[in-house]
Structure 1
């Protein structure tokens, strides 16, 4: 994978992409179900879009089936897309996406674990619903729960997707039937020799005196919480993702410094849309939590601007990447 690292046009520099996993509300601690979900937070997307426009950021809404088929979501997001202040992408949650032919289990909550034909049919129905509902052809994909499979890349390339952003670098989901991304690159890379599909991993960095040994040490520390806590308290090793969910602003700013030092061309920020309203995710339980989320975004983009990191879009990334 290192030999396939993507290069960008001169002058592109380092930029930041804000991605939103735009999805239904469900109980994160319960078993997966095809029903019993909510869309109450969708009305909050309008305020969020206004906020983004106010700070000069064009978010990428990675929408799943309940969002893609919801009239209010189509109105709010569609308006921003038509005005050129947001982009749309595909996010596949197989347990709520027709056709529902599989047993709904933890294993099959990762779309890449589905039989190839079923994964492809679910994806195609969702992609078509997005094109119909929002009037644009999506160019970016993210598997729900980061659940890529061995056939996913081919499926995406066959349907004109230019960018995948399913890899959560430096995370391992294999204990729950998911992929292991612990050794995947953090910098954008080509998934195929013909350079048809660009991977934009979600940005996660190691911070601390031992960060260069993070790939070897962090998996061990994650299995031994006392060791992990000690390494963090001593500023020896910490894993920082660029998300307002579970990551403080101070941690994020330290992570940005590392990403700049490591010369990452694209910083991929992410969070889940139900966090835009109180009570739908573990990260936003109170009004103060919601204020903190917006303060995080405000603080991060102020710092990025100070460090010379401009916001970007999928369209700009596709235009700038060198094939």
Structure 2
């Protein structure tokens, strides 16, 4: 899963599937993003805001995928609110592993071990299986999609997911390189969905980011060069020559996102995977939402993005629909 796939692994979808959007929510605890990782001291203050967000999604015809981690699964309030939406068929639930807050807590808590794929595999597997079992028990549904916290896949993560019957992984953040902080390098991974294994039992749905600008075809090469010349990326963006646009309201304006959607649609990407972190639903928990005005802007981002996708006839989809529509033969 850590190496870029071959072109032959590209997934195909049934006729009529067209191009779709999938909204994924990293549904997790509140913690200080600037502080060292800690197994304790986190909060769940934002959880009450999930109800309003779910109502908002239902109002615009979107069924979000809540990728829940251990503190969320242990929250009776979170399970009640999200579980109701799941039972009504208005949302789906998946797995997100934050190893530093997930039992068993036997490893040293640090930046390296914050990527689950860096842990000894038996420990990664044990944490994952405990989380999966709790989700299945508390939500009375079988989670079919996984995202490693911090996008931290490891060399044996694919086998772990297949053994657990997980059909879809969405941990790859294409065009991003986390190797400087002990994480994986996805800078060479494609945007399109692909099969991880020869048996075509595990589908990868990369989180969508695109290159925009006159030099976007040379984006990968320029990004590699930017590692040696850190100022290069900012210069390219200011000159509108090259910009990396992630489809998230966190740090990306609606205007930028619409440009990114144009690129993704023009390139024929079948699934545009949008993402953000649930603590952004309450001001003060992430760098992206510090005030109620910022929160209003987040909701407006979603309104504009989905209204624009509607004009392009790019409709929302779900994990269940993707599983039904992807062609495994």
TM-score (norm. length: structure 2): 0.97
| Structure 2 partner of 1:288 | 293
Q: How does 1:141-290 map to 2 (within 5 A)?
A: 141-221=146-226, 223-290=228-295
How far residue 3 of structure 1 moved from its aligned partner, in angstroms, is 1.4
| Structure 1 partner of 2:109 | 104
- Kindly indicate whether the alpha-carbon contact (under 8 Å) linking 1:222 and 1:228 is maintained by their aligned counterparts in 2: no
**Structure-2 separation of matches of 1:91 and 1:273:** 12
Structure 1 unmatched runs, 5+: none
| Structure 2 partner of 1:41 | 46
**Structure-2 separation of matches of 1:124 and 1:163:** 16
State whether structure 2 residue 2 is matched by structure 1 residue 31.
Answer: no
- Kindly indicate whether the alpha-carbon contact (under 8 Å) linking 1:168 and 1:202 is maintained by their aligned counterparts in 2: yes
**Structure-2 separation of matches of 1:290 and 1:13:** 32
- Kindly indicate whether the alpha-carbon contact (under 8 Å) linking 1:17 and 1:269 is maintained by their aligned counterparts in 2: yes
| Structure 1 partner of 2:9 | 4
The CA RMSD measured in Å over matched residues stands at: 0.8
**Structure-2 separation of matches of 1:232 and 1:181:** 21
**Structure-1 separation of matches of 2:314 and 2:62:** 12
Deviation sequence 1:63-105 (CA, Å, 0-9, x none):
0000011000000000000000000000000000000010111
How far residue 120 of structure 1 moved from its aligned partner, in angstroms, is 0.5
How far residue 227 of structure 1 moved from its aligned partner, in angstroms, is 2.1
**Structure-2 separation of matches of 1:245 and 1:219:** 24
Secondary structure in 1 matching 2:12: coil
Secondary structure in 1 matching 2:272: strand
| Structure 2 partner of 1:300 | 305
**Structure-1 separation of matches of 2:315 and 2:227:** 33
**Structure-1 separation of matches of 2:80 and 2:273:** 26
Q: How does 1:17-96 map to 2 (within 5 A)?
A: 17-96=22-101
Structure 2 unmatched runs, 5+: none
**Runs of 4+ off more than 6 Å:** none
